Amino acid sequence: MEKKTAASAAAQARLAWLDSKEAKRINKKNKRVVLIGVLMGVAAMVAVVLDGVLRVEKQDKLCLVLDDDFSNGFNKTTWSHEIQSGGYGVGSFDWTTDSEKNAYVEDGKLYIVPTLTVENFWPPYFNMDGIKLDLAAGGNCTGDGDTNCAMMNNFAEGQMIQPIQSARITTKKSHSIRYGKVEVRARMPTGNWLWPAIWMMPRDSVYGIWPASGEIDLMESSGNMPRQRQDERSVGAVQSSYHFGPDWRTNAGDHHTGYQFRWRDYFNQGYHNYVLEWNEKRMRVYVDDPRNTMNTFEFPKEPMWDYGKFGEIQIEPPIHNPWIRSENPNHAPFDQDFYLILNVAVGGKYFQGAGDAPWTTESAYPATTFWNNIKKWYPTWPTDPRERGMAVDRVRMWQKC
Ligand SMILES: *[C@@H]1O[C@H](CO)[C@@H](O)[C@H](O)[C@H]1NC(C)=O
Ligand SMILES: *[C@@H]1O[C@H](CO)[C@@H](O)[C@H](O)[C@H]1NC(C)=O
Average pLDDT, stretch 338-354?
96
* pLDDT value, residue 255: 96
Structural domain boundaries enclosing 240:
62-400
Instruction: Respond yes or no on whether the N-terminal peptide bond of residue 366 is cis (omega within 30° of 0).
Output: no
* pLDDT value, residue 83: 98
CATH, residue 231? 2.60.120.200
Longest dimension (CA), the chain: 107
Higher pLDDT, 353 or 45: 353
In tens, the pLDDT along 354-368 reads: 989 999 878 889 999
* pLDDT value, residue 55: 53
Looking at beta carbons, which pairs linking 312-316 to residues 24 or more positions away fall under 8 Å? 313/250, 315/249, 315/250
Asked whether the beta carbons of 202 and 214 are under 8 A apart, the reply is yes
Quote the pTM value.
0.86
202 and 257 both lie in a single domain: yes
Atom of ligand 1 nearest to the CA of 175: 5
42 and 72 both lie in a single domain: no
* pLDDT value, residue 18: 52
Asked if residue 295 has pLDDT above 80, the reply is yes
- Mutation to probe ligand 2, out of 76, 95, 98 (largest number of atoms < 8 A from CB): 98
15 and 91 both lie in a single domain: no
44 and 68 both lie in a single domain: no
Where is the domain boundary, 15, 32, 55? Answer: 55
Of 27-31, 293-297, 362-366, give the range with the top mean pLDDT: 293-297
* pLDDT value, residue 30: 62
Q: How many CB atoms lie within 10 A of CB 45?
A: 10
44 and 140 both lie in a single domain: no
91 and 43 both lie in a single domain: no
48 and 134 both lie in a single domain: no
* pLDDT value, residue 125: 86
* pLDDT value, residue 25: 61
Asked if residue 3 has pLDDT above 50, the reply is no
Where is the domain boundary, 22, 40, 55? Answer: 55
* pLDDT value, residue 353: 87
| 141 ligand 2 Cβ < 6 A | no
Best CA proximity match to 108, nearest among 66, 69, 68, 67: 69
Average pLDDT, stretch 198-221?
98
* pLDDT value, residue 364: 86
Distance 381 CA to ligand 2 centre (A): 27
pLDDT band at 60 (very low <50, low <70, confident <90, very high): very high
333 and 215 both lie in a single domain: yes
| 174 ligand 1 Cβ < 6 A | yes
In tens, the pLDDT along 114-158 reads: 999 999 887 788 999 999 999 998 889 999 999 999 999 999 999
250 and 145 both lie in a single domain: yes
In tens, the pLDDT along 30-50 reads: 666 666 666 666 666 666 555
- Number of domains into which the chain is organized: 2
In tens, the pLDDT along 85-117 reads: 999 999 999 999 999 999 999 999 999 999 999
pLDDT band at 58 (very low <50, low <70, confident <90, very high): confident
Average pLDDT of the chain is: 91
Q: Which ligand is nearest to the CA of 175?
A: 1
Distance 75 CA to ligand 2 centre (A): 18
Asked if residue 22 has pLDDT above 90, the reply is no
17 and 136 both lie in a single domain: no
281 and 395 both lie in a single domain: yes
> What pairing do the DSSP bridges indicate for beta strands 164-166 and 94-96?
parallel
Where is the domain boundary, 55, 74, 97? Answer: 55
162 and 47 both lie in a single domain: no
In tens, the pLDDT along 300-309 reads: 999 999 999 9
For residue 192, the 8-state DSSP code is T
* pLDDT value, residue 124: 80
Query: Where do the H-state alpha helices sit in 135-267?
Result: 145-149
